[in-house]
Structure 1
């Protein structure tokens, strides 16, 4: 009897185990077992990302496409250098610094601990801003970062003050900078704010990608080997024997980071066709894991979303077809939107938008002559994602489609007389 019962029990156990396994998969069991650096628990999410925090946004609009715990401030590690890189680019664009300017290495930069990424600067060494910037962008060199920070603000601490000032200007609400390099675990920022900073860099300084996409860079002519880009996910690494398994088509930036308190972090960007995404993953378990988890988000983004123009440029707004002008041959001018409105939407979904507000300039500013193409107001549209209920708004300008020529004095005089008597007549009618 026992021999007969045993197989039945075994089948029952196997069936039950399979059922549990299937349920775990349907619930995203990977997130239950997911671990960050040194076994720290990951944050539960539907993609099974093994991260403490993550976000994926559209680079053009900033539209959030996926997020996990994206508002919690966490140690940024060397992703902090994105702010340093941004400030250097700002200094150059404002002509307070130039790429070929030579920087003499300060004692502070030379004393940077060599246990992290470094180009081993010695006090008094001289290198151009461009050389130091490339070392920072490609190899995340901490001493090169301090050298640039010292040049701009006199010391790293002075530069940290500047970093926090710029952070407020950019409205990075969670960012607290205590170092230029990110070696300090008290430097924190949320995934959402890091993605926002990355978006600002790409929008205001697209030349940034010229440096972040370099596969390698030889800092000194006498150096035996070149600095290899720490971003192993670069699309061009598909031809690199040891890195091609991590290469992802279209990746051309931006910054990795690691300290014990942060785990392995990565802020990345990828472009395919007209779509460019920005991503952030924080506290993954290994150097490769940060790229693997990022790839999951990119796969999701490209498979799920497409750009769709929901309002063409030069569209007529039903609620504001014309604007009144003063002292013109015509009393009003037709207006249209100046540009298109595009959202990232789920593939196969037809988005619906609605006008939520419009604003026209005051009469005192709408006085003829008014050239064609003059901005005379704005209109704001709202799109609501049916699935996530995320509400997105876009504001576009209203522009004139005709010249508003100034009327002659004779026309203006008779118009004034007509307006006077019309007002007088209406006043009399209102008495009764």
Structure 2
């Protein structure tokens, strides 16, 4: 009987243990297991720009309303530069009104012969993806949408976006705009950006104008007497059918849809001080773009952890010093001026190393620094190199992260007397070497 009870007890314990393991097991998606239906996708660490996952990241595709992130950037920049303020008002042009009144386009419905503030227009654009307000802001800043498109492409170059072409401010296809397509652009053209370019645009928008997230994270807004909900379903909406998409830490950034682009989304979320940026392009439905984003973010938060791999002041073994000419000291110690901290997978610490590149312009023909050398002088750069496989590099189209390599102390220039003695010593040393070489020649 005791044996029967013991077996039953063991079975109960096994079942309980298995159940507990199932319940508490965190989501732990490996890159090899991360399959996305999106045609193109990317996941980026917002602090370092490290690319954590990429699928066809350099394929230029229609971004739809994710285009508006560039419009947002230029509006916020104009406010920062004092060209406009949040309280600046403007009226709606015939073109912007016609787009707003068209039920085929995303919009709230604007009123002509009424003044709207920049704040009202921006919030409608960022929260509800309104196209009419976007065009109105473009016209306010540049005089016309055609001139604004020029600013968009100029800023794209300035930000270093690798794959992009802007033809309008909204993300609509020019063909749908008819005669209203921006002057100087292809009547049949469409905006084109890669997932990498969109992630870099989002990276700069968040870095330069963090206030953008205060607006993009708002669940709803009042406009023209109506309450409109944010199109980002991953925010904590009250509607029961949207709660399944809620993602902890989500606070932006921009949805998009056209028939050509499919359903797209640039998302960003922060957990425990770590912020990630994701982009998915050409998914099949509204729900799919958020489901794909959740998988990306789960992978990033679950698999990576910020690690300080090499602290500030780190020195490479056997490369701790550089020779100094004409100084009171013959050498100077060098080290990295800031730590290398990056998101890495557990157990991969040993796959990273540091390499030095000394600025040749700092050295004489003998490979020496020339005194005086001041503490903190930049001597070159130190590069963090990943020696493992399948490294996606950084959002800046670079494979590696660099910091400055600096002098650790000051080496003053030697006085004229010591320099003279040194020169004399070098002179006689040269003569002695010449004599030795001559004598060797007699007996060779």
Give the TM-score taking structure 1 as reference length: 0.79
Q: Could you say which residue in structure 1 is the equivalent of 2:150?
A: 161
CA distance in 2, matches of 1:353, 1:329: 37
Asked whether the equivalents of residues 353 and 387 of structure 2 are also in contact (C-alpha less than 8 Å), the reply is no
Question: Which structure 2 residue ranges, 5 or more long, are not aligned?
Answer: 1-31, 175-189, 394-398
Alignment of 1:102-121 (within 5 A): 102-114=89-101, 115=103, 116-121=105-110
Q: Could you say which residue in structure 1 is the equivalent of 2:344?
A: 345
Pair 1:376–1:224, CA change in 2 (3 A): same
1:319 CA drift (Å): 5.3
Do structure 1's residue 250 and structure 2's residue 213 form an aligned pair?
no
Asked whether the equivalents of residues 108 and 155 of structure 1 are also in contact (C-alpha less than 8 Å), the reply is no
Do structure 1's residue 87 and structure 2's residue 81 form an aligned pair?
no
Moved more, 397-406 or 70-79: 397-406
Moved more, 108-117 or 54-63: 108-117
Give the 3-state SS of the residue equivalent to 1:152 in structure 2. Answer: helix
Pair 1:134–1:427, CA change in 2 (3 A): farther
Q: Could you say which residue in structure 1 is the equivalent of 2:411?
A: 404
Give the 3-state SS of the residue equivalent to 2:49 in structure 1. Answer: coil
Give the 3-state SS of the residue equivalent to 1:111 in structure 2. Answer: helix
Pair 1:390–1:138, CA change in 2 (3 A): closer
Do structure 1's residue 54 and structure 2's residue 41 form an aligned pair?
yes
Do structure 1's residue 101 and structure 2's residue 88 form an aligned pair?
yes
Q: Could you say which residue in structure 2 is the equivalent of 1:373?
A: 376
Higher relative contact order at CA 8 Å, sep ≥6: structure 1 or structure 2? Answer: 2
1:62 CA drift (Å): 2.6
Pair 1:150–1:345, CA change in 2 (3 A): same
Asked whether the equivalents of residues 381 and 393 of structure 1 are also in contact (C-alpha less than 8 Å), the reply is yes
1:241 CA drift (Å): 4.2
Question: Which structure 1 residue ranges, 5 or more long, are not aligned?
Answer: 1-44
Pair 1:173–1:393, CA change in 2 (3 A): closer
Q: Could you say which residue in structure 1 is the equivalent of 2:204?
A: 200
Pair 1:183–1:338, CA change in 2 (3 A): same
1:71 CA drift (Å): 2.2
Moved more, 149-158 or 54-63: 54-63
Give the TM-score taking structure 2 as reference length: 0.77
Pair 1:147–1:376, CA change in 2 (3 A): same
Residues 322-365 of structure 1: CA distance to partner in whole angstroms, max 9, x if unpaired? 23445543233211101112333222333322344512352489
Give the 3-state SS of the residue equivalent to 1:173 in structure 2. Answer: coil
Aligned with 2:56 (options 61, 66, 69)? 69
CA distance in 2, matches of 1:192, 1:358: 28
1:276 CA drift (Å): 1.7
Residues 190-249 of structure 1: CA distance to partner in whole angstroms, max 9, x if unpaired? 222211221222233323212211222224xxx433332111212xx1655453221100
Aligned with 1:140 (options 119, 129, 135)? 129
1:156 CA drift (Å): 0.9
Give the 3-state SS of the residue equivalent to 1:254 in structure 2. Answer: strand
Pair 1:98–1:404, CA change in 2 (3 A): farther
CA distance in 2, matches of 1:419, 1:110: 84
Give the 3-state SS of the residue equivalent to 1:83 in structure 2. Answer: helix
Alignment of 1:226-241 (within 5 A): 226-234=227-235, 237=236, 241=240
Asked whether the equivalents of residues 317 and 337 of structure 1 are also in contact (C-alpha less than 8 Å), the reply is no
Asked whether the equivalents of residues 322 and 335 of structure 1 are also in contact (C-alpha less than 8 Å), the reply is yes
CA distance in 2, matches of 1:424, 1:109: 86
Moved more, 416-425 or 392-401: 416-425
Asked whether the equivalents of residues 43 and 279 of structure 2 are also in contact (C-alpha less than 8 Å), the reply is yes
Pair 1:284–1:416, CA change in 2 (3 A): same
Q: Could you say which residue in structure 2 is the equivalent of 1:314?
A: 313
Q: Count matched residues.
A: 382
CA distance in 2, matches of 1:208, 1:428: 76
Give the 3-state SS of the residue equivalent to 1:377 in structure 2. Answer: strand
Pair 1:102–1:233, CA change in 2 (3 A): same
Pair 1:239–1:110, CA change in 2 (3 A): closer
Alignment of 1:280-295 (within 5 A): 280-295=279-294
